[in-house]
Amino acid sequence: MRNNMKYDYGDEANFKQADENGNSISRMCTVVGITPVETDDQSRVFGYPPGTVLYSVEFGDGSDRLVPEDELESAK
């Protein structure tokens, strides 16, 4: 069940970020958790407005990160 979310558990995606020179780089990752920000309390804790979908993603080196949906793009 996806609801309004763009990704589901186990989906592969590319995490987009800027390096120290401002160049865009992407890292392949796998979605391992989904956290919709639904309340003002959650917004204060996570630092994103209600309506944001945050994804816990894991990278090939075993590290992980919580990222908003707009920092991911489909790996397909």
CA angle at 31 for the pair 15 and 8, rounded to the nearest 5°: 115
**Mean pLDDT per 10-residue run, the chain (76 residues)?**
72 91 91 97 97 96 95 88
CATH of the domain spanning 12-74, picked from 2.60.40, 3.30.70, 2.30.30, 2.40.128: 2.30.30
State the virtual CA torsion across 72, 2, 33, 69 in degrees, nearest 10. Answer: 20
Q: Please give the pLDDT value at position 1.
A: 36
Q: Please give the pLDDT value at position 4.
A: 58
Q: Please give the pLDDT value at position 37.
A: 97
Residue type, 35: T
Q: Please give the pLDDT value at position 57.
A: 98
pTM of the model: 0.85
Q: Please give the pLDDT value at position 76.
A: 78
- Domain assignments of the chain as residue spans, ordered by start: 12-74
> Are 55 and 71 within 8 A, CB to CB?
no
Beta strands 24-36 and 53-59 are: antiparallel
